[in-house]
Structure 1
């Protein structure tokens, strides 16, 4: 199969490289000439484990290439995937579909022969209808089927998620469209990946509903963590106890500083707006957004409660990206945390294994350090914000010896209170009883 992938952001680049690895011929298209030239040189614009090698091997095999001109790739394609950004629109939280609709118009002009145009971007319900209208308006003679194929990739594990998916959702009632997309995903049949065919609007809603439900699980366990602290319970054991129930499941029940990233905040806001447009109230999702925003802002107060008045003190922040194994800073909990610390008069030093260049764009007024030990030197408190594996086995004696005060606030619960007490730390974590004191 010949595939044109419009957009070389996170979804487009990972999807394009994986489709090429299946044996399809994929051309990734982007208007950013600098990005395309970099990709041709083998430079990957995002951090995703294994992506650089996957791109390089498929470029070498001539199954994957890059261009700024969609005309040829779209004309030759059996399937054209729209994988452009849909950021939150300023002012109202709706998904901004400017790039999707612009791509649809350009694709329409280049279509030749029967083609399936697929929205891979996360889009509100009904977007496929508008994409089809725009294409038929621009090219009335086009032999085209417009389908929805939402992505369910986790940053940091995207390649495995693509190759071993929980499900593949294809939204189209057209038999020819189903046949083409069935061929596109046929290599996954060996993994027995469930291929689910639905109507287009149903597929569009599945993506938003999935992300909103996962965001709700995170927010629920964070509120239980607050209650655990007050009543003397251990939220990790609570999460395990409820997660062993197959109806609930253990995933996304890890208490922390709140969810961030490119999907959950944006998609939950967009889902609320979609519902409002249809006179439906999603009270649970609305509450999730409010609780999560408040939680991220409250983390700076948690540090202050552990370390005392922060004015003039130095706080070392370990981890800046919203999750490990990515350089993504979009809506990361570290941003309101650091902003809150600065507002309290603290000096902030930070270290992240891969995210510091991206972080500098969001947090320009702090000091960045090359390793955790440099970061904590002379600090009055250390805060673990992102659960990078590099932070799970720090030399605690070395950390304590370097700090001005042995205060550790562990927002990811990666250490045990008794271990920290044995090393002489004042230690605070999230939702756990019996916090250690020096």
Structure 2
């Protein structure tokens, strides 16, 4: 049984650590939150992410710790999955990753070569800077981004469409290929490149998807104005293999914790490198205008009530961040429409804390 460590075992990191354990690895997870670590080791954690509690309960070779030196001693390969939030200018705040790197440097020169794999969202060029900082301490550094969505994290990690590996040697790439061959239930395409290419690939992927979704909704809005049927138009256009129908439907705009952040990061990186094109900014503008169009269309219909059973950014999740569904509900309620929301208890509690009695709340059917 091979050893692996995961530094940062929050929502995504814990899923990855438990998926590795299920795949046959002996895993140490490291986190700074002492009470959280204790609860993990007692298997008392409660989470809304599907499948996590069951994996934790069934795990036999997973240990959580607050001691980073224990994580380093445990394994030659360590994955870093800590939070990187957006700064006001759009760049990723990599201070938590920096803190991990500083802790690793503080442990001195390693007697054996070790491999640090950065999975957090970072700005292109950042992983190279980490490699420079840790080189003298006998560390190799790779970049291997997560391509997941909240609510389906375990499925996304075990059945990814593709895997991006940013490594500066075939030996390091082979090591990660082997891990994914054990981890994945499918056979994803694996793309090996240098670190900065992998970093750019991650934000480019999500930025393209925001542009595609925005375009589909623009076509749909125009179709309605012309008296055409949005679904028929988009299905026909998407049937061309150069386009395809994934993420090409008429409906709500894009949101959530990933798409907006990666799009802002891409805009900032492009601007800093004098590739200040309008496309990604236009996707932002189109997303906003589409929401405004949805609000106005409903108001013009004269309807006095609006009923919805989901206001999270994605059905099945509990995340309100960047939710266009919530944006529509807010826009209607603030214009005098009675908005009825049938959601989970968790979401309703958060909505009440944020918006009080702006909405009319209904308990969601347990079968939905």
Residues 83-113 of structure 1 show CA distances to partners (whole Å, capped at 9, x for unaligned) of 11111113x1221111121122123334742
Shift of 1:32: 2.5
The count of aligned residue pairs is: 364
- In structure 1, what is the equivalent of residue 29 of structure 2? 28
Shift of 1:44: 4.6
Q: Identify if the C-alpha distance between structure 1 residues 54 and 71 changes in structure 2 by more than 3 Å, giving closer, same or farther.
A: same
Contact kept, 8 Å, 1:219 with 1:288, in 2: the verdict is yes
- In structure 2, what is the equivalent of residue 131 of structure 1? 130
TM-score w.r.t. the length of structure 2 is 0.89
Matching of residue 295 in structure 1 with residue 290 in structure 2: yes
What are structure 2's unaligned runs of at least 5 residues?
Answer: none
Q: Identify if the C-alpha distance between structure 1 residues 125 and 57 changes in structure 2 by more than 3 Å, giving closer, same or farther.
A: same
- In structure 1, what is the equivalent of residue 249 of structure 2? 254
- In structure 2, what is the equivalent of residue 122 of structure 1? 121
Alignment of 1:389-428 (within 5 A): 390=368
Q: Identify if the C-alpha distance between structure 1 residues 226 and 89 changes in structure 2 by more than 3 Å, giving closer, same or farther.
A: same
- In structure 2, what is the equivalent of residue 182 of structure 1? 177
Alignment of 1:333-412 (within 5 A): 333-346=324-337, 348-353=339-344, 355-360=347-352, 362-367=354-359, 369-372=361-364, 390=368
Q: Identify if the C-alpha distance between structure 1 residues 371 and 45 changes in structure 2 by more than 3 Å, giving closer, same or farther.
A: same
Equivalents in 2 of 1:189, 1:320: separation in Å? 32
Matching of residue 145 in structure 1 with residue 145 in structure 2: no
Name the Cα RMSD after superposition. Answer: 2.5
Q: Aligned to 1:222, which of 205, 209, 217? A: 217
Contact kept, 8 Å, 1:46 with 1:327, in 2: the verdict is no
Equivalents in 2 of 1:51, 1:367: separation in Å? 32
Shift of 1:334: 3.4
- In structure 2, what is the equivalent of residue 394 of structure 1? none
Shift of 1:41: 4.2
Alignment of 1:58-97 (within 5 A): 58=59, 61=60, 63-90=61-88, 92-97=89-94
Matching of residue 102 in structure 1 with residue 93 in structure 2: no
Residues 66-88 of structure 1 show CA distances to partners (whole Å, capped at 9, x for unaligned) of 22222201232221111111111
- In structure 2, what is the equivalent of residue 407 of structure 1? none
1:267 partner SS: helix
1:355 partner SS: helix
Shift of 1:294: 2.7
Q: Aligned to 1:325, which of 289, 293, 316? A: 316
Q: Identify if the C-alpha distance between structure 1 residues 51 and 73 changes in structure 2 by more than 3 Å, giving closer, same or farther.
A: same
Shift of 1:200: 0.7
Equivalents in 2 of 1:38, 1:349: separation in Å? 37
Equivalents in 2 of 1:171, 1:263: separation in Å? 20
- In structure 2, what is the equivalent of residue 48 of structure 1? 49
Shift of 1:364: 4.2
Equivalents in 1 of 2:184, 2:331: separation in Å? 49
What are structure 1's unaligned runs of at least 5 residues?
Answer: 374-387, 391-438
TM-score w.r.t. the length of structure 1 is 0.76
Residues 228-287 of structure 1 show CA distances to partners (whole Å, capped at 9, x for unaligned) of 101111111122212222221111012222111111011001100011111112321111
Q: Identify if the C-alpha distance between structure 1 residues 190 and 292 changes in structure 2 by more than 3 Å, giving closer, same or farther.
A: closer
- Bigger radius of gyration among the two: 1
Q: Identify if the C-alpha distance between structure 1 residues 274 and 365 changes in structure 2 by more than 3 Å, giving closer, same or farther.
A: farther
Shift of 1:118: 1.0
Contact kept, 8 Å, 1:327 with 1:358, in 2: the verdict is no
2:214 partner SS: helix
Matching of residue 18 in structure 1 with residue 13 in structure 2: no
Q: Identify if the C-alpha distance between structure 1 residues 35 and 292 changes in structure 2 by more than 3 Å, giving closer, same or farther.
A: farther
